[in-house]
Amino acid sequence: MKFFVKTFGCQMNEHDSEIIAGVMASAGYQQAEDIGGADIVIVNTCCIRESAENKIWGFIGNLKNLKDHKPGMILAVVGCMMQQNTIGEMLHRRGRHLDIVLGTYQQHRLPEYVSRILAGEKQIVDISEDNRDFPDSLPTMRVNDLSAQVNIMYGCNNFCSYCIVPYVRGRERSRDFGAILAEVRELAAAGVREVMLLGQNVNSYGKDLRRATPDADVPDFAAVLRAVSEIEGIERIRYMSSHPRDFSAELADVIATLPKVRAYCHLPLQSGSDRVLRAMNRGYDTAAYYAILERIRRHTPDVVITTDLIVGFPGETGEEFAETLDFVAKCRFDAAYTFLYSPRSGTPAARMDGQIAEREKKERLARLTAVQNAVSLDINRGYIGRTVDVLVEGPSKNNPDLMTGRTPGNKIVICRGDMGMVGQTLPLTITEAKTWHLEAL
Ligand code: SF4
């Protein structure tokens, strides 16, 4: 039988889908090229924004037609959306045609539940939060031969007031240090050159293990970075996400000593207003955030720094939004991922007074994007004439006659070449700069 995984959402979800595919393949199922060729359709869901959630329910609804035309097809829906407290009611209203519903803690059980459906069982729902037997390593079917994602922890303890993640992915759980290193060594042996260490808050790696075994010598995130840096064959190491509250001066100093790590840092800011940051429960203010940026840049002047920003948080006044514009211009990020605030049921921010109209949020987003784009272009223009190491990844999506690759700081570079260059790190001279990429033509 063949399966197809459709993924919605963030990088964490993309990697979860690689694991779901790996678990299914190791149970003997084959991956289908497209949804039409699949006997088992698996939808990996995301609930971070309301608009995404509506789109996903629409997609799940359309699968009913597919199933009607292909009796025996198994539909499985997994991931964050299934872990929300409204799921029972939603399944009753919109998900009666689903065969398997799994939350974020039970996805590794999918082959077992597929067998039970094949044996005649009706809709199986498992959204249990019991993760005691969650394996430390799972088979993974990777989509990229050069760059791989590796989970180092799951869940989050931060409870930012707008965020649903701690409710659907649970509290922080660090993965075993040895299992992480074993996975990266295996990837290096298979030819992978770059790893992205994943977690909702990678900086707090090990804290839960230390609480559980206070006398043991448990490694922290800096130790993970040091150990992964020593693995031969891995040229570049990135990490996501990194919370400013836990980004200590010591961590910045350690990263500065690691050439494979120090070229790139993603540090979510979210707002440039101290009052809004407090309301978001972010645990830092703009002065503390800026001090981290200065420390990172003092060590590594041409480091690439990106961020996340939310506009239209409840109660955000025009003045507070203007503070964000000013602070973003001052920080000079290489790029920012900007989002409209989206109320999520069950989070404190969804119940706050002062919810802002969509139109106003969109206007603010456009102004913020204009400020950031001008900074991004200005920084990128500084690369013209410089020669940078580019790891060539493959043909450009927009123009298959050209190739695409990335600098150590993760900037996209479009260049001439052929498939023989894929996997090579080449010194290329930048000839042109755009807002979101560089060109070496
Ligand atoms: S750090 Fe905040 S925004 Fe990030 S996952 Fe945790 S609660 Fe959500």
- Residue 43 β-bridge partners: 6, 77
- The stretch 373-377 carries a mean pLDDT of 98
CA 333 vs CA 38, 199, 309: distances in Å? 43, 22, 11
**What distance in Å separates the CA atoms of residue 66 and residue 62, rounded to the nearest whole number?**
7
Range of the domain at 74: 2-126
Residue 73: both structure tokens together: 């097809």
CB neighbourhood size of 107 (10 A): 22
| Residue 314: DSSP 8-state | T
3-state SS class at 429: strand
Give the strand order in the sheet containing 387-395: 425-429, 387-395, 403-406, 412-415, 437-440, 432-433
- Of the pLDDT bands very low, low, confident and very high (cuts 50, 70, 90), residue 89 is confident
Q: Are residues 220 and 169 in the same domain?
A: yes
**What distance in Å separates the CA atoms of residue 324 and residue 271, rounded to the nearest whole number?**
6
Cis peptide before 345 (omega within 30 of 0): no
> What confidence tens digit (pLDDT) does each residue in 178-229 have?
999 999 999 999 999 999 999 999 999 999 998 888 888 889 999 999 999 9
Instruction: Assess if residue 133 is contained within a domain.
Output: no
- Of the pLDDT bands very low, low, confident and very high (cuts 50, 70, 90), residue 385 is very high
**What distance in Å separates the CA atoms of residue 31 and residue 25, rounded to the nearest whole number?**
7
**What distance in Å separates the CA atoms of residue 310 and residue 302, rounded to the nearest whole number?**
26
Q: Which helix (H) or strand (E) holds 244?
A: none
Q: Are residues 377 and 391 in the same domain?
A: no
pLDDT for 169 beyond 90: no
pLDDT for 23 beyond 80: yes
Instruction: Assess if residue 85 is contained within a domain.
Output: yes
Q: Are residues 177 and 119 in the same domain?
A: no
Mutation test residue for ligand 1: of 172, 240, 243, 277, the one with most atoms within 8 Å of CB: 243
Tell me what pLDDT residue 216 has.
81
Q: Are residues 354 and 408 in the same domain?
A: no
Q: Are residues 375 and 392 in the same domain?
A: no
Instruction: Assess if residue 421 is contained within a domain.
Output: yes
Say which CATH number the domain at 241 has.
Answer: 3.30.750.210
Tell me what pLDDT residue 217 has.
86
Q: Are residues 234 and 331 in the same domain?
A: no
**What distance in Å separates the CA atoms of residue 247 and residue 224, rounded to the nearest whole number?**
15
Residue with the nearest Cα to atom 2 of ligand 1?
160
Mutation test residue for ligand 1: of 168, 241, 344, the one with most atoms within 8 Å of CB: 241
pLDDT for 84 beyond 90: no
Q: What's the gap in Å between 387 CA and the centre of ligand 1?
A: 37
- The residue ranking higher by pLDDT, 307 or 145, is 307
Number of domains comprising the chain: 4
> What confidence tens digit (pLDDT) does each residue in 405-430 have?
999 999 999 999 999 999 999 999 99
- The stretch 1-25 carries a mean pLDDT of 93
**What distance in Å separates the CA atoms of residue 340 and residue 310, rounded to the nearest whole number?**
6
Instruction: Assess if residue 132 is contained within a domain.
Output: no
Cα 325 versus chain centre, distance: 25
Q: What's the gap in Å between 159 CA and the centre of ligand 1?
A: 6
**What distance in Å separates the CA atoms of residue 93 and residue 230, rounded to the nearest whole number?**
52
Domain end call among 381, 405, 425: 381
> What confidence tens digit (pLDDT) does each residue in 111-168 have?
999 999 999 999 999 988 877 677 778 888 887 889 999 999 999 999 999 999 999 8
Q: Are 406 and 393 in contact (CB under 8 A)?
A: yes
Mutation test residue for ligand 1: of 156, 171, 277, the one with most atoms within 8 Å of CB: 156
Instruction: Assess if residue 137 is contained within a domain.
Output: no
Q: What's the gap in Å between 158 CA and the centre of ligand 1?
A: 6
- The stretch 66-95 carries a mean pLDDT of 87
Say which CATH number the domain at 95 has.
Answer: 3.40.50.12160
- The residue ranking higher by pLDDT, 145 or 318, is 318
> What confidence tens digit (pLDDT) does each residue in 326-352 have?
999 999 999 999 999 999 989 999 999
Burial of residue 199, with CB atoms counted within 10 A of its CB: 0-12 exposed, 13-18 middle, 19 or more buried: buried
Tell me what pLDDT residue 86 has.
81
Cα angle vertex 164, ends 159, 169, to 5°? 90
Say which CATH number the domain at 402 has.
Answer: 2.40.50
Residues 6+ apart with CB under 8 A from 292: 244, 247, 249, 252, 267
Domain end call among 351, 381, 411: 381
Q: Are residues 111 and 146 in the same domain?
A: no
Q: What's the gap in Å between 155 CA and the centre of ligand 1?
A: 9
Say which CATH number the domain at 356 has.
Answer: 3.30.750.200
- Of the pLDDT bands very low, low, confident and very high (cuts 50, 70, 90), residue 51 is confident
Tell me what pLDDT residue 188 has.
96
Pocket residues: Cβ below 6 A from ligand 1: 156, 158-160, 163, 165-166, 200-201, 243
Tokens 């990020």 map to which residue? Answer: 333
Instruction: Assess if residue 178 is contained within a domain.
Output: yes
Q: Are residues 405 and 376 in the same domain?
A: no
Tell me what pLDDT residue 228 has.
98
Strand bridging mode 124-126 / 147-151: unpaired
pLDDT for 69 beyond 80: yes
Residue 112: both structure tokens together: 């077992």
Q: Are residues 412 and 370 in the same domain?
A: no
Mutation test residue for ligand 1: of 160, 164, 171, the one with most atoms within 8 Å of CB: 160
Domain end call among 365, 381, 397: 381
Q: What's the gap in Å between 73 CA and the centre of ligand 1?
A: 36
**What distance in Å separates the CA atoms of residue 70 and residue 72, rounded to the nearest whole number?**
6
Q: Are residues 242 and 332 in the same domain?
A: no
Q: What's the gap in Å between 200 CA and the centre of ligand 1?
A: 6
Q: Which residue pairs, CB below 8 angstroms and at least 24 apart, start in 371-376?
A: 371/325, 371/328, 371/329, 372/309, 372/328, 372/333, 372/335, 372/336, 372/338, 373/435, 375/328, 375/329, 375/332, 375/333, 376/333, 376/334, 376/335, 376/435, 376/436
Tell me what pLDDT residue 25 has.
95
- Of the pLDDT bands very low, low, confident and very high (cuts 50, 70, 90), residue 87 is confident
CA 328 vs CA 231, 275, 369, 409, 436: distances in Å? 36, 16, 10, 19, 17
3-state SS class at 432: strand
Instruction: Assess if residue 136 is contained within a domain.
Output: no
Q: What's the gap in Å between 103 CA and the centre of ligand 1?
A: 19
Q: Are residues 355 and 326 in the same domain?
A: yes
pTM equals: 0.90
Nearest-Å Rg of the Cα atoms of the chain is: 22
Q: Are residues 402 and 350 in the same domain?
A: no
Instruction: Assess if residue 30 is contained within a domain.
Output: yes
Instruction: Render 186-238 in DSSP notation, one character per residue.
Output: HHHHTT--EEEEE-TTGGGTTHHHHHH-TTS----HHHHHHHHHTSTT--EEE
Tell me what pLDDT residue 406 has.
96
Torsional class of 22: left (φ above 0), alpha (ψ -120 to 50), beta (otherwise): alpha
Q: What is the mean pLDDT of the chain?
A: 93
**What distance in Å separates the CA atoms of residue 92 and residue 272, rounded to the nearest whole number?**
42
Tell me what pLDDT residue 251 has.
92
Residue 329: both structure tokens together: 């211009």
Atom of ligand 1 nearest to the CA of 169: 5
Tell me what pLDDT residue 28 has.
95
